[in-house]
Chain A
Amino acid sequence: MIDWFTDPYQTQFMRHAAVTALLIGVLAPTIGVWVVLRRLAYLGDAMSHGTLAGVAGAYLTGISITIGALAAGVTMGLLIALFDRQRRLGHDSAIGVAETLMFATGIVLISRNDRIGVDLTHFLLGQIVTTSTHDIIVNSALTAVALGIVAFTFSDLRNVTFDAGHARQVGIPVGALRVVLIVLISITVVVSLGTVGLLMSVAMLVTPAAAARLVTNRIETMTAVAVAIGVVSSLGGLTASYHLATPPGPTIALVTVACFAAATIATLPRRRTVP
C-alpha cells in the first residue's frame, strides 16, 4: 500500500511535481477561504480565464509568463472596478464582461501564432510533470509573499468581509484590501498555471475552502481544514493520476470535489437540524 504512494516519486520530475502540487495545495485554499466567505467564486473563475490574455501576451512579446499573468489579473480587477461604476449593472455582470474581454483577447492572441497554441494547452489544463527547478523557486516565492500578505492582513480581512461599513468606520482601508484580494487571486492563478491549469484553478481556489466551510464555524479552523484538503487533494490526485494514467490537473480537481462531497454527506444530518 505504501508503495502505491511512494512509487510515483522515484523520479526527479515527479518529485518536482509533488513540490508544486504542495505549493498550490497550501496557497489556493488559503486564499480560497476569503473567496468563499466573500462569495466571490465567480470572480475566481473569471480571473482564471482572464489570465489567458496575459499568458498569451507574454508569449508573443517574450516577457515572463508570471509577469504577464499578474498584469492580466490586475487589469481584470481594474476593469471590473470600472464596469462596477455602472450602478444599474450587478457585480456579476461587471465580472462577466471583463472576463469575456480578457478571455477572448487571449484566444485571439493564441490564434495569431500556431506554436503558442500548442504550448498554451499546458497552461489551460496544467502540465505539472514538466515543472522545472526555476518554476519551483518562482512559485515558492509567490506563495510565500501571498501567505505573508494574508497573515499580515488576516484580522482586517475578517472585519472587512463581515461588516465593510464598520471596517471603514474604524479606519481599515477597505478599497485597498479589495485590490489586495484581487492580487492574491491573481498570484494563485499564476501558481496554478503549471499544476491544475487555468481552467481548473478555480477548483483549488473554491472547492477545499467550500468543503471546510461546511465543517467549521471559525475562520482559523476553516483555513487549516481547507489547506489540509488542498494538500491531500493535490498530492493524492497527482499520485492517482500516475497510476491511472489520467491528466494530473483534472484528477486533482476531481479529488477536491470528492472531499467536498464527503464534507457535504458528513454534515448533512447536522445541518438538517439547524433551523
Chain B
Amino acid sequence: MSDAHEASRDHPILQVTGIGVTYPPATTALADVSFEVHPGELVAVVGPNGAGKSTLFKAISGLVPHHGSVELCGNHCHHQRDRLGAAYIPQRNDLDADFPITVGQLVLAGRRRFLRLGQRPSQRHRQAAINALERVGLADLRQRPLSTLSGGQMQRAFLARALAQEAHLILLDEALSGVDQPRTEALLDLFGDLAHSGTSLLVATHDLSLARRRFSRCLAINRHLVADGPPEQALGPATIEATFGNPTTSNHAA
C-alpha cells in the first residue's frame, strides 16, 4: 500500500459529532452520538428495534433533520450536495419490491449525481454502471427486472448503485435480513473486498454472532452510543445488556 494511501486512511471519511434526532412532537430517536469512520473500515451497527440505527443512517445521509454535525471526507455537510459521497441503502421493506425497474436502470440512478436536470447519461456513465455491476457480479442481469432478483442479488444491485455513485461511504440498513446463510457469507466477502479497496461500510444488523465473527468494529446503539470498539469489547455481556436490556425481560437480545 502506498504512503499516500496510508496517509489518507489517517483522516476520517466520516466524522459524526453530537448528532441527535427528535421526531415531532417530542420523541427522541437519537441523542448525542459521536464517532468517526476511517477509509476502508467495515463497521457493524447493532441495537434493538427502535434503537435509532435507521435514523442514524438517515441523519448521516441528510434524509431527516438533525442537530450536531456530520463531516464527510473532511467537509462539513451543510447542504444535501455535501453528502453526495455517502450512499444509503434502505431496508427492503421500505421500498416497493415489485416496482418496474431493471437492474441496469437502478444502477444508472447512481450516476444521477453527475448529471444536470433532464440530461441523458452518456456512454461514459453507462460504462460506469456496467463496471459497478461487474464488480458485484451482476453484469449478466442488468436487463432483468429488479423484482425477479433474490434477496442477496438485490443487495448486490443496490451496492452497485452505490459504487456507480462513487460513494466513499455506504450505509446498509439491515442488508442481511432475509438473505440465506451462503449468500450472507458471499455478501460479507463482497463487503470485505469493497472495504479493502478503500470504501467504508456501515452495516446495521440484528445478528450479533455475525457481527462478532465478520466485523472488526461494532457500534452498539440504543438511542445513544452505548459502545464503540472491537466486537469482544463492544459486544461484551455488560454492553449487550446495556444495549438490548435484560434478555429475560426483553425479546431483543440475540
Q: Do A and B bind each other?
A: yes
Q: Which residue of A lies closest to B57 (CB)?
A: A165
- Residues of chain A within 8 A (CB-CB) of B80 are 168-169, 171
Q: Decide: A171 and B24 in contact? CB cutoff 8 A.
A: no
Interface of A is mostly: helix
Among A51-59, A69-77, A153-161, A251-259, which stretch is in contact with chain B?
A153-161
CA gap between A213 and B98 in the complex, in Å: 11
Instruction: Report whether A222 and B100 are in contact in the complex, using a CB–CB cutoff of 8 Å.
Output: yes
Number of A-B contacts (CB under 8 A): 77
B118 sits at the interface (CB 8 A): yes
Contact present for B100 and A216 (CB under 8 Å): yes
Whole-angstrom distance between the alpha carbons of A125 and B108 in the complex? Answer: 44
* Beta-carbon contact of B165 and A170 below 8 Å: yes
* B contact face: mostly helix, strand, loop, or mixed: mixed
Give chain A nearest CB distance to B80 CB in angstroms.
6
Q: Render B78-104 as a binary contact track against A, CB cut-off 8 A, 1 for contact.
A: 001101101110100011100111100
User: In the complex, which residue of chain A has the Cβ closest to the Cβ of B25?
Assistant: A87
Q: How far is the CA of A162 from the CA of B58 in the complex (A)?
A: 17
B110 at interface, CB cutoff 8 A: yes
Verify A170–B109 contact, CB threshold 8 A: yes
Residue B161 interfacial (CB < 8 Å): yes
B15 sits at the interface (CB 8 A) = no
CB distance A37 to B117 under 8 Å?
no
- Of B61, B96, B100, most buried by chain A (CB within 10 Å of CB) is B100
Quick check: is B76 within 8 A (CB to CB) of the other chain? no
Decide yes or no whether A219 CB sits under 8 A from chain B.
Answer: yes
Q: Count of B residues near A, CB < 8 Å?
A: 33
**Interface flag for A3 (CB, 8 Å):** no
Determine if B112 and A170 form an interchain contact, defined as CB atoms under 8 angstroms apart.
yes
| Closest chain B residue to A173, Cβ basis | B117
Given A162-B95, A169-B63: A219 and B101 within 8 A (CB)? yes
A217 to B147, CA, bound (A): 9
Asked if A134 is at the interface (CB within 8 A of a chain B CB), the reply is no
Chain A contacts for B94, CB-based, 8 A:
165
Q: How many A residues, CB 8 Å from partner?
A: 26
Q: Is the CB of B62 within 8 A of A168?
A: yes
Choose from B100, B110, B145 the contact partner of A170 (Cβ within 8 Å).
B110
Chain A residues whose CB sits within 8 angstroms of the CB of B105 once the complex forms = 155, 158
Question: Shortest distance in angstroms between B101's beta carbon and chain A's nearest beta carbon?
Answer: 5
- A37 vs B61: C-alpha distance in the bound complex, in angstroms? 25
How far does the alpha carbon of A159 sit from the alpha carbon of B61 in the complex, in Å? Answer: 17
A168 CA to B161 CA in the complex, in Å?
Answer: 14
Which of A166, A167, A218, A219 has most chain B Cβ within 10 Å? A166
CA distance A193 to B102 in the complex (A): 36
Segment 117-174 of B: residues with Cβ below 8 Å from A? 117-118, 145, 147, 161, 165
Distance in angstroms between the alpha carbons of A169 and B112 in the assembled complex: 10
A-B pairs with beta carbons under 8 Å apart, 18 shown: A155-B108, A155-B109, A156-B117, A158-B101, A158-B109, A159-B109, A163-B90, A165-B58, A166-B90, A167-B109, A167-B112, A169-B86, A169-B88, A170-B109, A170-B110, A170-B112, A171-B112, A173-B117
Which residue numbers of A lie inside 8 Å of B, CB to CB?
Answer: 37, 87, 152-153, 155-156, 158-159, 161-163, 165-173, 213, 216-219, 222
Known: A153-B117, A169-B84, A219-B100. 12 other contacts (CB 8 A): A37-B100, A87-B24, A155-B108, A158-B101, A165-B88, A165-B90, A168-B62, A169-B62, A169-B86, A170-B110, A216-B100, A217-B147
Sorted nearest first, the 6 A-B pairs with minimum C-beta distance are A170-B113, A170-B112, A217-B145, A152-B118, A159-B109, A217-B100
